[in-house]
Amino acid sequence: MSTETFLARLQDELQALDAAGLTKAERVIASPQGAEVRLADGRPLINLCANNYLGLSAHPRVMAAAQAAIASHGFGLSSVRFICGTQDIHKQLEQRIARFLGLDDAILYAAAFDANGGLFEPLLGEQDAIVSDALNHASIIDGIRLCKAQRYRYRHDDMSDLAAQLQVARAAGAREVMVFTDGVFSMDGTIARLDEMRAICDRHGALLAIDECHATGFMGTTGRGTHEHRGLLVDGRSSVDIITGTFGKALGGASGGFTAGPKAVIELLRQRSRPYLFSNTLAPAIVGASLAVLDLLEGSTALRDTLHANTAHFRAAIAAAGYEIKPGTHPIVPIMVYDAVKAQQLAARLLELGVYVTGFFYPVVPQGQARVRVQVSAAHTVDQLDRAVAAFAQAGRELGIVR
């Protein structure tokens, strides 16, 4: 094989993607992230597709904290954690996020993708088993692949299949069993039934671990996450055993991930987790800003409350406009179009009308389940949400999606 034939094959693959309409184009934004963004051509758009749930991505207090951390702790550390990449603020953030979630300790990663990628292999071996929801995030699937434990998959959100798979794992003689689920599933806004899952895990002596990327900061009455929402955070103590999550969504949206759990779990991850041992430490600006985010959220539930009020408003208004949405309460609002081409046309027309949304279709969602996914933010004003719904109504009528 020559470089030429190699590159020709890649070109063929790219063309095949394009021909199938699967190429993902990147739109260029020339403003900070926010309820409204400005494109490179100067056009303003109401933004309904960021993970900026709490509106913290360009929040003045968060940006000021990032700048202060650069001034006091520098720009970068040029080291992994265990050589010379651990500052006082890294230790503080680990303690603070652990306390926020109701667990003993936490470990930081460059991303939640790495937290999930480095979770399973150090903790579980061939004698153990992992029981995973069929729709778990790609990073969980990859993390499980890197681990020698026996793998079992239960049908998405299906509690009787979960129990059945646990029985199979136990019958096969598993030493330890870990059940893993997304706390909230990103394509549907489905909230895992952690209370039922905890009871099933207890019956089978299994650990329960969750990925809280679409929950930390705003689910539950004080925003601690899905475990709080489902009643598994009592007197500030989590009865979910292990929680992974991100600083790259609601908590400021820059980057960084974490795993929180019992002391021994976190200590072993520090010794053995490969993305932690072999990748650079989190930049001080992100650490300082993340501490400020936790100050904000521990001081007031105002942002979380606004987010849920905005979500209820948008869900009611878009349904009244004639759209079919997946029922629920999460700020992820899947607007069902079913047809992939229609979903893309709807997103394209909305862009012309000044509303930024993304269409999702196979293979990101099942065949025939194409949708436009809206994500509501605390930063949206009711007026922005109403204008977006009016645009949805107009575009939907033009395309024959709604009457």
Binding residues: 137, 186, 246-249, 279-280, 373
Q: Does 211 bind ligand PLP (CB under 6 A)?
A: yes
Q: Does 104 bind ligand PLP (CB under 6 A)?
A: no
- The 220-259 contact track toward ligand PLP, x by CB under 6 A, reads --------------------------x-x--------x--
Are 178 and 151 within 8 A, CB to CB?
no
Of 73, 227, 249, 342, catalytic: 249
Q: Does 133 bind ligand PLP (CB under 6 A)?
A: no
Nearest alpha-carbon partner for 310 in 233, 234, 389, 246: 389
Q: What are phi and psi of 71, to 5 degrees?
A: -65, -40
Are 375 and 349 within 8 A, CB to CB?
no
Q: 259 has which bridge partners?
A: 107, 244
275-294 residues near ligand PLP, rule: CB under 6 A: none
Q: 238 has which bridge partners?
A: 233
Q: Which is nearer to ligand PLP, 56 or 111 (CB)?
A: 111
Nearest alpha-carbon partner for 114 in 317, 276, 262, 340: 276
Active site residue 214: yes
Longest dimension (CA), the chain: 64
- Report how many residues bind ligand PLP under the rule CB under 6 A: 14
- Alpha carbon separation from 307 to 54, 284, 326, 377, 379 (Å, rounded): 7, 28, 18, 6, 8
Task: Return binding residues for pyridoxal 5'-phosphate.
Answer: 186, 246-249, 279-280
Q: CB of residue 192 vs ligand PLP: minimum separation in angstroms?
A: 11
Of 57, 186, 238, 290, catalytic: 186
Choose one: 68-76, 107-115, 164-172, 299-307; the region binding ligand PLP (CB under 6 A).
Answer: 107-115
Q: CB of residue 238 vs ligand PLP: minimum separation in angstroms?
A: 18
Q: CB of residue 116 vs ligand PLP: minimum separation in angstroms?
A: 6
- Give the H/E segment covering residue 238: strand 237-238
Are 240 and 194 within 8 A, CB to CB?
yes
- Alpha-helical runs (H) found in 87-230: 88-101, 112-117, 120-123, 138-145, 159-171, 194-203, 226-229
- The 143-182 contact track toward ligand PLP, x by CB under 6 A, reads ---------------------------------------x
Active site residue 326: no
Q: Does 111 bind ligand PLP (CB under 6 A)?
A: yes
Radius of gyration of the chain (CA): 22
Choose one: 106-114, 126-134, 146-154, 170-178; the region binding ligand PLP (CB under 6 A).
Answer: 106-114
Q: CB of residue 162 vs ligand PLP: minimum separation in angstroms?
A: 18
Q: Which is nearer to ligand PLP, 131 or 250 (CB)?
A: 250
Q: How far apart are CA 298 and CA 99, in angstroms?
A: 11
Active site residue 186: yes
Choose which of 113, 152, 323, 361 interacts with ligand PLP (CB under 6 A). Answer: 113
- The 182-201 contact track toward ligand PLP, x by CB under 6 A, reads x---x---------------
Choose one: 96-104, 109-117, 219-227, 232-240; the region binding ligand PLP (CB under 6 A).
Answer: 109-117
Choose one: 74-82, 111-119, 318-326, 327-335; the region binding ligand PLP (CB under 6 A).
Answer: 111-119
Of 59, 214, 227, 308, catalytic: 214
In eight-state DSSP terms, residue 356 is E
Choose one: 31-39, 195-203, 211-219, 233-241; the region binding ligand PLP (CB under 6 A).
Answer: 211-219
* DSSP letter string, 286-329: HHHHHHHHHHHHHH--HHHHHHHHHHHHHHHHHHHTT--B--SS
| Chain centre to alpha carbon of residue 282 | 18
Give the burial string for 259-268 (b: 16+ CB within 10 Å, else e): bbbeeebbee
Site for ligand PLP, rule CB under 6 A? 111-113, 116, 137, 139, 182, 186, 211, 213-214, 246, 248, 257
- Provide the annotated active-site residues: 186, 214, 249
